[in-house]
A and B are shown apart, each in its own frame.
Chain A
Amino acid sequence: MQYTTLNTVDGLNQAIATLLGGLMDHEVVDAVMVPTRQPHGRVVMQSLIADRAGLANIDPFAPVVTTSAAKQVAALTHRPAGRPVAVVLRSCEVRGTIELAKLHQSHLDDLLLIGLDCFGRYENSAYIDLAAGDEHLSTTFLAQATGGGGTTLEGVEITTACQACEYPVPGNVDLRLAVIGADVGKQIWVEALSDKGREALAALGLDTEEGTPEGRSSAIADLTALREAFKKQLFEEFTARTDTMDGLREVLAGCINCYNCRVACPVCYCRECVFVTDTFRHDGEQYLAWAEKRGQLKLPTDTTFYHLTRMVHMSTLCVGCGQCSSACPNDLPIMELFRTVSEQTQHRFAYHPGADPQEAQPLAVFYDEEFNEVTGQTK
């Protein structure tokens, strides 16, 4: 692998802005989509920057993902402009983007994919509070995390989804902004993973080295091991208390059918969710029939049905970003629920969402000789 070193002594965002600006100056891309500080509310959101001046406010390592950028990439490319754009994404967003591309809801051809090493994100409201007290929160956070000080700031933890994320380093990107293992106050690395990435670095005239930056591999292994251990314990405990229908209903008891989880989900791919169609606008007579059959009927109805259907639709594609849990107004452990189901469904189909753009989605293909154990019949 080729990589180049970015000097960050004058500021991390400044160094990345210079890199991204160079891509625009050398006409490698026409614009960049990158997490950027907004003029109001201390919010950091993806912004499509076409004028170099806008790069002054970028903050790609801000530990917040207000909404999965996989959906923004889909908005940008579902009808491609045919012009080159760089997009700066985290691992979960890259994997979501790849799954949407397989569904033809995103197109990767025009994109220069730039991945970010990720130590996790805070919930949106927690981030805004933390950012209010620290002008340089991103640097503080990265310095602490890369220095072995963990990801908890002022007693606030990153999201549970991030603590259980085994993919801190994004794959399938052209370039990667590498911070794990780096002394971020001095330097970070830019790794080129594809021909497109190598050509981009060459266009900028940056000197590259071969190999992996010193100390990076072991730092990644340590972080991944920590996450894997957290995930294992979390999933085991959660599965144990939800391995019955009663356990499931206990978890879903607070669900109000707002469907925020599927709006926030980057891989919930239906253009229109069946649960908001007339199929689920039952007649008054129907409600009374249900109530009479059972004695009483909880309203709104179809809650368990909704979640089970969503599991059937998207669990094989779940990338574990945790946006479902973040979007839940009643703090239900939707991420834990869906990820523990996903582990089983993805294992059954030996499918790894986002791992390989060429790998077909489980329900998009079928073969004559497979899953014979389902019927147990042979001719």
Chain B
Amino acid sequence: MSNEFEPTITAFLCNWCTFTAADLAGTSRLAYPANVKIIRMMCSGMVDPKYVLKAFLEGTDGVFIGGCWPGDCHYINGNMKARRRVALLHEVLGRFGVDRDRLWLRWVAASEGNMFAETVEEMTARLRELGPCVMKGEKVA
């Protein structure tokens, strides 16, 4: 077994677009890194910033929020809300030296199974470069 660092990605995926894309990637037999752990949300706008903070504090190395492209949200504008929240989280986390590349928001449509696989591939590669996340609370939360 390799001793090389393998990042963990916690993915919050919108039920209607990105989760469906992940499903499509699977049924299309596309290979993507097993580093990603998927949590299905009804909407990217349902991702409370607390979920993101908690995931990092519990030891994840990256968080990937997947939503519908602008204009395609099943709930009209949940993805727009997610975008402002991620911008805010980037500022707060960035203030304490947490690289913005640890938190990705990406639009992936239901038909874009290949794009889902590519995005996970890219993010995993980037997190391998960044190494383990410093937010993990070893003895304190």
A interface list, Cβ under 8 A from B: 239, 242-249, 274, 290, 294-298, 301-305, 308-309, 311-312, 315-316, 340-341, 344-345, 348-349, 362-363, 366-368, 370-371, 374-375, 377, 379
Contact = CB atoms under 8 A, between A and B. Distances in A.
B83 A371 contact: yes
Contact of B96 (A247, A305, A367): A247
Interface of B: 49-50, 53-54, 57, 69-71, 77, 80-81, 83-92, 94-98, 105-107, 134-135, 137-141
A305 B141 contact: yes
B57 A374 contact: no
Given A305-B57, A348-B91, A375-B106, 14 more contacts: A239-B95, A296-B139, A305-B50, A309-B53, A312-B88, A344-B94, A348-B88, A348-B90, A349-B88, A363-B85, A366-B77, A367-B80, A368-B70, A371-B84
A130 to B, nearest CB: 36
Given A298-B140, A304-B140, A375-B106, A316 B53 contact: no
Contact of B105 (A245, A344, A374): A374
Contacts of B90: 348, 374
Contact of B95 (A295, A301, A344, A377): A344
B57 A304 contact: yes
B50 A274 contact: yes
Contacts of B50: 274, 305, 309, 312
B95 A366 contact: no
Nearest to A242: B96
A315 B141 CA distance: 21
A295 B49 CA distance: 28
A311 B98 CA distance: 15
Contacts of B134: 244-246
6 contacts: A245-B97, A249-B140, A312-B50, A341-B95, A348-B87, A366-B84
Contacts of B94: 344
A272 B106 CA distance: 32
Nearest to A348: B91
A274 B96 CA distance: 23
Given A246-B134, A290-B141, A297-B141, A362 B97 contact: no
Nearest to B89: A312
A375 B92 contact: no
A212 to B, nearest CB: 37
B139 A366 contact: no
Contact of A304 (B85, B89, B97, B141): B141
Nearest to A376: B106
Nearest to A373: B87
A238 to B, nearest CB: 11
B20 to A, nearest CB: 18
Contact of B107 (A248, A249, A366, A375): A375
Given A294-B137, A305-B141, A374-B105, A363 B95 contact: no
Contacts of A379: 69-70
A374 B97 contact: no
Contacts of B139: 294-298
A311 B77 CA distance: 24
Nearest to B134: A245
A296 B141 CA distance: 11
Given A305-B53, A344-B94, A374 B69 contact: no
A163 B21 CA distance: 54
A173 to B, nearest CB: 30
Contacts of A344: 91-92, 94-95
Given A304-B141, A305-B57, A363 B71 contact: no
Nearest to B49: A312
Contacts of A308: 53, 57, 92
B105 A345 contact: no
